[in-house]
Amino acid sequence: MSSQLVDRFIKYVKINTRSDESSTTVPSTQSQIDFSKMLMEDLKEIGLSEIEFNEKNGFVTASLEANTDKDVPTVGFIAHIDTADFNAENIQPQFHENYDGQKIVLNEEKSIVLSPEDFPNMKNYVGQTLITTDGNTLLGSDDKSGIVEIIGAVEYLLNHPEIEHGKVRIAFGPDEEIGTGADLFDTDHFAADFAYTVDGGPVGELEYESFNAASADLFIQGKNVHPGTAKDTMVNALKLAVELDTMLPQEEVPEKTDGRDGFYHLLGIEGTVEEAKMGYIIRDHSRELFEEKKQKLTSIVEELNKRFDQKRITLTLKDQYYNMREIIEKDMRSVEIADEAMRNLDIEPDVKPIRGGTDGSKISFMGLPTPNLFAGGENFHGRYEFVAVESMEKAMDVIIEIIKLTHTK
């Protein structure tokens, strides 16, 4: 099974499925549609049923039919097909068998090195087989590891009909990396009792708590006059933008927070004296603190606008997703089964809040409790991304064990 899992992974990561935040289509790129159609052929080849591509939301769905007369829950597994905003063209995976714990030269010509000094997590993989990039691209383990692990699990069960199980639904969707993939997910059609995204990091991760998230876009209208006669007349939009940022809590930024701490993250400032734009994301695990952060920014804008005889700053706030714990904690069955599955396989569950979100953050609020399972990769979204073959095998084993346990509940 290992060889088949790896071969499928290499086949998939070599295909550029990068999403595009500037696009207005669903999915955001044609390459994701092409990849989805290829996935459908692969799912058909291994023998799944109800294989469909939903043109409205870009999701491929399929079923592993139940082989038991027992009335058991339908469990779902979900992964995303797109990769992040980093070069994904001409991905050339590199294998490092029996990793020795030392630095790995990814690209000698460009002196790009994957080093335990920068990434101490590499020491966790001594003796294992690592798959890395060649230093020029990301790898795409986020989330093609999740895809191949899900496919590998249902294929295993198809090949072992002696293992009784209920119906299993799978879904592979677009645009998770740009935050829009799950917006149109059809939970009624998916028809699972609970589900999992397979989109986490190292072995053992089990997450059912995510950030509450909002975007904040600001437009600042300045007043540009000749600097020689600017006294008491000029309004410098760029200076106003900088001042606004300094009025936010300076310790509540990504580089100074961890755990359940929330933050304001300034994504960019651009403009001139005449006009400027700013973009933030706001995050907090606590809904109360999340609302307070949004109100803090709103109050700063109001305070600055009072200085002028007209409104100079326009703020557009948009909630993006909420902490899925609010939904999942009402029915912890999915978390309890995943926890038991890992322990059955001698994997210690690492239950912790996600400092981010997954498709499950939105899907849970659509009525389908969807915690997040590890997929095995490390250092996502860049040239230093890697995954151990052994981690992907363990993720596949956990999926199989969850399906087995669901049959006994």
Active site residue 245: no
Give the pair of three-digit tokens for residue 388: 């151990």
Chain position carrying tokens 């609010």 = 326
- Cβ-contact 399, 77 below 8 angstroms: yes
Short-list 387, 352, 390, 386, CA closest to 371: 352
Give the pair of three-digit tokens for residue 334: 């999915």
DSSP 277-338: EEEEEEEESSHHHHHHHHHHHHHHHHHHHTTSSS--EEEEEEEEE--THHHHTT-THHHHHH
Q: At what angle do helices 141-159 and 30-46 cross, to 10 degrees?
A: 20
User: Of 82, 142, 209, 359, which residue is the catalytic one?
Assistant: 82
Short-list 212, 177, 161, CA closest to 325: 212
Task: Report the DSSP beta bridge partners of residue 173.
Answer: 80
Q: What are phi and psi of 212, to 5 degrees?
A: -85, 140
For residue 240, give every residue at least 6 positions away whose Cβ sits within 8 Å of its Cβ, in sequence order, or none. Answer: 220, 222, 276, 304, 312, 313
CA–CA distance, 216 with 183 (Å, rounded to integer) = 19
Written as one letter, the residue type at 335 is V
Active site residue 284: no
User: Of 175, 176, 205, 207, which residue is the catalytic one?
Assistant: 176
Q: Which residues are catalytically annotated?
A: 82, 176
